[in-house]
Structure 1
Amino acid sequence: MTENVLALENQLCFAVVTAARNVVALYRPVLEPLGLTHPQYLVLLALWERSPRSLGDLAGELAMEPATLSPLIKRLESQGRVTRTRRTDDERVLDIALTEQGEALRKDALQVPHQIMERVGMDSAEIMAVRDALVRFAGRAPVAAAG
């Protein structure tokens, strides 16, 4: 490996960036019938865990800047899936909450992980192993459930 240390195929960064692009492309046809983009799906996953959440909390959980997240939230709001409200005790805080439609979409989304596993030919244990290997680079601790 010493002589090929700078070979493109030996670079972790290249493998991760390529995998990230491919993951988004892999999810696209699975999420399209739900009317979701991959970033919108991630927002909903976080909200299905806990809603309402402040925009800042949601941005932190998703490792996104609030300015990047805001257009995604607005789009989900225009689709009737979330609401945005200012807190009465602190108007600087914007809370994001699921609507009934957003909550109901969770039922359809339960099939997404299974469809992804089928598309990549991996079972949940293999998916979790890949995910757990990557969390060190994402700065997050591994969790029990695959997603």
Structure 2
Amino acid sequence: MKDVTMGDDELLSLDRQICFSLNAASRAFGGVYRVALKELGLTYSQYLVMLVLWEDGELPVKRIGERLRLDSGTLSPLLKRLEAAGLVRRERGVEDERSVSVRLTDEGAELKARAARVPRSIAAATGLSVDEIDDLRERLARLTEALDSAVTRGLGG
């Protein structure tokens, strides 16, 4: 819906695009995470996989993908690299060989203690208070839900 108080040129200004603001913030986070995760030897995407496994324990690949909003084509190479690094083990299901579960190795589980400093470093880098971070996370969750819903119903619904 067009805002009647704003002209088309203003609506189409790069600085007015929420997608650009979110993308710029995401890229900035990427840089901060690269520094914060260097000591752990993890990429940001690998860190997310490890977070899910530290939180939930052994999971099917499909469930990890759902939690991280990643398709198997993106997730499989991540898991392969984590397995090569000795942090996780992938195992085919006994009853259904199409199903692959992922679990932490002892080394992967031990990495959790070293990773605990990462969220603190990231929080400090944002310059936001804990309450502001919580508020932003809640707003982003609502935004994500609204956008998912818009796609499901076809933007115009």
**TM-score normalised per structure 1:** 0.90
Among 20, 28, 39, the alignment partner of 1:33 is: 39
The higher radius of gyration belongs to: 2
**Equivalent residue of 2:91, what SS?**
strand
Matches for 1:79-90 after TM superposition, within 5 Å: 79-90=85-96
Q: Between the two proteins, what is the percent identity of the paired residues?
A: 38
Unpaired segments ≥5 residues, structure 2: 147-157
**Equivalent residue of 2:42, what SS?**
coil
Q: Deviations over 1:50-84 (max 9, x none)?
A: 12100111101100001110000000001110000
Among 121, 127, 139, the alignment partner of 2:145 is: 139
**Equivalent residue for 2:152?**
none
**TM-score normalised per structure 2:** 0.85
Unpaired segments ≥5 residues, structure 1: 141-147
Q: What is the Cα-based RMSD across aligned positions, in Å?
A: 1.4
Counterpart-to-counterpart distance in 1, 2:85 and 2:113: 17
Matches for 1:42-57 after TM superposition, within 5 Å: 42-57=48-63
**Equivalent residue for 1:20?**
26
**Equivalent residue of 1:88, what SS?**
coil
Instruction: Determine whether 1:95 maps to 2:101.
Output: yes
**Deviation (angstroms), 1:110:** 0.9
**Equivalent residue of 1:96, what SS?**
strand
**Equivalent residue for 2:149?**
none
Q: How many residues are treated as equivalent by the alignment?
A: 140
Among 111, 117, 121, the alignment partner of 1:111 is: 117
**Equivalent residue for 1:2?**
6
The amino acid across from 1:108 in the alignment is R
**Equivalent residue of 2:94, what SS?**
coil
The amino acid across from 1:97 in the alignment is R
**Deviation (angstroms), 1:123:** 2.4
Q: Deviations over 1:79-116 (max 9, x none)?
A: 11000000101111000000111111111111111111
